[in-house]
Amino acid sequence: MQQGRDGFSSRFGVIAAAAGSAIGLGNIWRFPYVLGENGGGAFFLVYMAFILLLGIPLMLTEMSIGRAGQRNPYGTFRFLAPKTKWYLVGVMGVAAAFLILSFYSAVAGWTLQYLYDAIFNNFAGKSSSELSGMFTNFTSGVYTPSIWTLVFLMMTGLVVVAGVEKGIEKYAKILMPMLFVIIIILDIRAITLDGAEEGLEFLFKPDFSKLDSKAVLEALGQSFFSLSLGMGTMITYGSYINKKEKLFSSATSVSIADTLIAVLAGVAIFPAVFAFGIQPDSGPGLVFITLPNVFQQMPGGYVFSVLFFFLLVIAALTSSISLLEVVVSYFTEELKLTRAKATIVAFAGVGVFGVLCSLSSGPLKDFHLLGFTIFDLFDYTSSNILLPVAGLLIVLFAGWKWKRMSVASEILGEGIKENTLFKLFMFIIKFIAPFAITLVFLNAVGLLKL
């Protein structure tokens, strides 16, 4: 460990913080609606396959690189591969974190407004078209969504400024167990509704006729996004992990927790949606329009709606913390700013872009760059381009550039002989992962038709 460098203090802290990063709007807002749009169960199977085959190995790789480098993503690549261009992967990571945090905080701002609405019982008595109007009115506004975006970023900044152990780890250890308890309560409510079976069937019964190559690509993008891969977060968090920690078990536990929460979110949502005869494929509005409609028809709906939006806020917060930390660690270590200054600069930068993303549903709706609104441009370039490309470069680095001995000593411990699991891991990293990511990426950008 570098002299005086902040870091995680316990095993539970490592897992809570990394799971906090992974578990976010991606699990509770995005996963259910992407699954809904792609036909349900079959999408889920493909998603799980990606998590096992690519997600876990890539998370392990990122954590190892970070822990070996003991620096922010840029500094880490500089240190591990001096006098080469590999540091560009770190630059991409910092840039991706910045872009994602911008649109992420816009959606997170919506969750704050909806928590407020839930607490003040504002969904009560509204018809489904009124609820949908409420969402459109709110998101197309100027001041309210922008202010919520900034409030959310400020909350994120307050945690990050306190440091890794005293901020990030401390809050993750409180918030993550809370999130788990809330989602279990919501699940119990959903599966005890009359007519819940249909929703469970939608989620768990694969219908492969609904699966096309677009869905496969979305499953890969979603699995990377959900595990916070390809953008330096796991490299950054890895750099705070103690040398004694076994990275294999950290990466596996975090990936399992992340997948479990996505499933539990599906179980909280689909049975309720089907039980009230609503369609599951309503896209991004699923949790903001469909669910309030469900809550106001459900016995005890008030309490469950408050719990649900509180859950979304917690999930979003622990993830945005990890995104901001990537940028802040870069500013403190490379530009030598103090943590407080770095946080303020990052807050100001992301604040501007966050507000622009938030305005993309309103006054800037018709402002297009390369055919996208600002929000969609940030989402598309980060999720479909930067993530897969950085993910690819990271596996290539670990598989082909980094010395196999160094990888082994980071993952297995110094001087320990390679075991079968490690050999399998190296095989995936060297051959399968680069091949699979390239294929899916080329298909995504239309250079190859699967």
Per CB under 6 A, 374 contacts ligand PHE: no
Per CB under 6 A, 228 contacts ligand PHE: yes
Q: Closest approach of Cβ 261 to ligand PHE, in Å?
A: 9
Segment contacting ligand PHE by CB under 6 A, of 12-20, 213-221, 225-233, 352-360: 225-233
Cβ atoms of 362 and 29 within 8 Å: the answer is no
Per CB under 6 A, 322 contacts ligand PHE: yes
Q: Closest approach of Cβ 327 to ligand PHE, in Å?
A: 11
Per CB under 6 A, 145 contacts ligand PHE: no
Per CB under 6 A, 27 contacts ligand PHE: yes
Q: Which of 76, 102, 239, 319 binds ligand PHE (CB under 6 A)?
A: 319
Q: Look at the alpha carbons of 309, 175, 3, 75 in this order and tell me if their dihedral is positive or negative.
A: negative
Q: Closest approach of Cβ 370 to ligand PHE, in Å?
A: 22
Q: Which is nearer to ligand PHE, 223 or 373 (CB)?
A: 223
Q: Closest approach of Cβ 47 to ligand PHE, in Å?
A: 13
Q: Closest approach of Cβ 269 to ligand PHE, in Å?
A: 15
Binding letters toward ligand PHE, positions 58-97, x by CB under 6 A? ----------------------------------------
Segment contacting ligand PHE by CB under 6 A, of 24-32, 131-139, 184-192, 275-283: 24-32
Q: Which is nearer to ligand PHE, 225 or 353 (CB)?
A: 225
Per CB under 6 A, 231 contacts ligand PHE: yes
Q: Where along the sequence are the contacts to ligand PHE (CB under 6 A)? A: 21-22, 24-27, 100, 225-226, 228, 231, 233, 319, 322-323
